[in-house]
Structure 1
């Protein structure tokens, strides 16, 4: 089964900037900080070992256009499921954001599946996807809003880094995929900082101020 590309998320906006500008991360040379609780050799050590799957760290690696599309379908599907829960939010801003994510990423999933079928017929698109987000279905009010924001920011970060890696390594075989990756990078980068502002304004916390992170 294909090794999951999802993860290797280092904390903070420095890595986000690196993902967007192509500094180190896009070149595939960035080394994550060796913080307590880091994933090493496929095993999680330290205080993060009992945390939700969203917080676990892995190595981001985009091997090809096919791998990028197959993994991004699973990644988008998780985002659509989580964003759909925001229709229960008491905040109009989050209901609007959730509806936007569901609409945009559902359409992108359809496009990616179409490309996979047309350009890579007969290949299995099953991936070893490791969920990054909590189950939000039992949360409501501030608990729902805060959990969504805390989980979706690093979720977006992974998509930004995957997309920039594909572009910098010139792995897109089709112009449609190149344009798609650039759009994912730019759109989700912008949404990340919007969500960071919401966390700060509403909860007085940054996106990485999560229990057990230990950064």
Structure 2
């Protein structure tokens, strides 16, 4: 049953990425510019790869069961922090496109982490925000060249899919008490959905990795 639910959420969350791209500003790489939550006028509507059999995202299906806004925020902070740490490793990439992409993830997700931590401190000052977070990404520190880029892309596609699912689940279930969190969740869902499409394209173009249903 859980596998069926997860598959349905993935499909629903990823549909419409092409339409979203039409209203998003792009840079010279054709990449959408990330924006802090709330700077889109309250807009809430903004290819999973074969990954060589490495489907890290589905190891953390428990993220879909966040029972409150606070749990969503605390889980997403931990999730973002892992992505930021991994993206910093792309400073060593041989590809300028990947170096820019890594810098963009670090910048955008750092802003979001700071926002989420401020909300947790303001709304839940006496509550613990510790989470039992299960790391999803492989160690990149000793990788270089194509191995660094391919491993990052494979793992980050699955990592992004989990954030898309977490955010879509929260929006669809009416989990969020504050409109600001709903806006942020929609931004995370839509930005990372577009990034999944781009990363899958790079995996295909550079490494021959194709979609597997």
Any idea what SS the aligned residue of 1:131 has? coil
User: 1:134 maps to what in 2?
Assistant: 138
Structure 1 position 188 matched with structure 2 position 192: yes
Q: In structure 2, how many angstroms separate the alpha carbons of the residues matched to 1:207 and 1:75?
A: 24
With a CA cutoff of 8 Å and minimum separation of 6, indicate the structure with the bigger relative contact order. Answer: 2
Aligned residues: 172
Q: Distance in 2 between matches of 1:55 and 1:172?
A: 23
For 1:179, the equivalent position in structure 2 comes to 183
**Whole-angstrom distance in 2 between the partners of 1:94 and 1:201:** 13
SS of residue matched to 2:198: helix
Matched, 1:160 2:134: no
Q: 1:58 aligns with which of 39, 61, 65?
A: 61
Let me know the Cα RMSD of the aligned residues: 2.3
Match of 1:19 in 2: 13
Q: How much has 1:56 moved relative to structure 2? A: 2.9
CA contact (8 A) 2:60 2:134 kept: no
1:67 is aligned, of 61, 67, 71, to 71
Are the aligned partners of 1:132 and 1:155 in contact in 2 as well (CA < 8 Å)? yes
Q: Distance in 1 between matches of 2:91 and 2:203?
A: 18
TM-score of the aligned structures, taking structure 1 as reference length: 0.74
1:84 paired residue number: 88
Question: Measured at CA, do residues 148 and 207 of structure 1 come closer, stay the same or move farther in structure 2, by a change above 3 Å?
Answer: farther
Structure 1 or 2: larger helix share? 2
User: C-alpha distance in 2, partners of 1:139/1:93?
Assistant: 17
CA distance in 1, matches of 2:193, 2:144: 26
Shift of 1:18: 1.5
Map of 1:74-153 to 2, 5 A cutoff? 74-153=78-157
> 1:61 Cα shift?
1.3
**How far apart are residue 175 of structure 1 and its match?**
1.2
Q: 2:209 aligns with which of 198, 205, 210?
A: 205
Q: Deviation at 1:116?
A: 0.2
Offset of residue 206 of structure 1 = 2.9
